[in-house]
Amino acid sequence: MRWEQVYLAGTGTWLADRADAAAAVAAGAYDAEEHAANQIHSVSSVTAGGPDDLPAPEMAVRAARTALRRAGRAAERVGTVFHSYLWFQGAELWPAAAYVARHTVGSAVPAFDLLQQCNAGLAGLELAARQLQARRPGADEAVLLTTADRFTPPAFDRWRAERGMVYGDGGTALVLSSSPEGAAGRLLATATRVDNSLEGLARGEGFRSGPEEADRPVDLGARAEEYFRAHRNLRAATLRTAEVAAESIRAALDEADTPRERIDRVVLNATGNQRLRWQLEHQLGVEEKFSNWEFCREVGHLGAGDHFAGLNELLETGEVAEGDRVLLVGGGTGYSCTSAVVEITDASGWCA
Give 225's pLDDT tier (boundaries 50, 70, 90): confident
Q: What is the mean pLDDT of the chain?
A: 91
* Predicted local confidence at residue 68, as pLDDT: 97
**Residue 291 in this model has a pLDDT that exceeds 80:** yes
Sorted by where each begins, the domain ranges of the chain are 7-181, 187-344
Q: Which residues contact 239 (CB under 8 A, 6 or more apart)?
A: none
**Please, is 336 exposed, middle or buried when counting C-beta atoms within 10 Å of its C-beta (0-12, 13-18, 19+)?**
buried
Task: Tell me the average pLDDT across 6-10.
Answer: 97
Distances (CA, A) of 95 to 89, 92, 115: 9, 9, 12
What whole-number distance in Å separates Cα of residue 336 and Cα of residue 117? 9
Q: Do domains 7-181 and 187-344 have the same CATH topology?
A: yes
More confident residue, 181 or 236: 181
Taking the CA atoms of the chain, what radius of gyration do you get in angstroms? 19
Low-confidence winner among 20-29, 95-104, 154-163 (lowest mean pLDDT) = 154-163
Q: pTM for the complete prediction?
A: 0.94
Over residues 277-299, the mean pLDDT reads 91
- Please name the residues in contact with 32: beta carbons below 8 A apart, sequence gap of 6 or more: 25
**32 vs 203: which has the higher pLDDT:** 32
What CATH architecture does domain 187-344 belong to?
A: 3-Layer(aba) Sandwich (3.40)
pLDDT of 166 reads 97
- Residue 285's SS3 state is coil
Averaged over 5-27, what is the pLDDT?
97
- pLDDT (tens digit per residue) in 304-326: 999 999 999 999 999 999 999 99
Model confidence over 44-78: pLDDT tens digits?
999 988 888 999 999 999 999 999 999 999 999 99
Which CATH entry fits the domain spanning 7-181: 3.40.47.10, 3.40.50.300, 3.40.50.11540, 3.30.565.10? 3.40.47.10
Q: Please check the confidence at residue 210 and state whether its pLDDT lies above 90.
A: no
Residue 213 confidence class, pLDDT cut points 50, 70, 90? low
For residue 4, name the pLDDT band (cuts at 50, 70, 90). very high
pLDDT digits (tens, 9 = 90+) for 168-192: 999 999 999 999 999 999 999 999 9
**End-to-end Cα spacing for the chain:** 33
Kindly report the backbone phi and psi dihedral angles of residue 288, in degrees, each rounded to the nearest multiple of 5, phi listed first: -55, -35
Q: What is the per-residue pLDDT for 238?
A: 75
Mean pLDDT calculated for residue range 111-122: 95
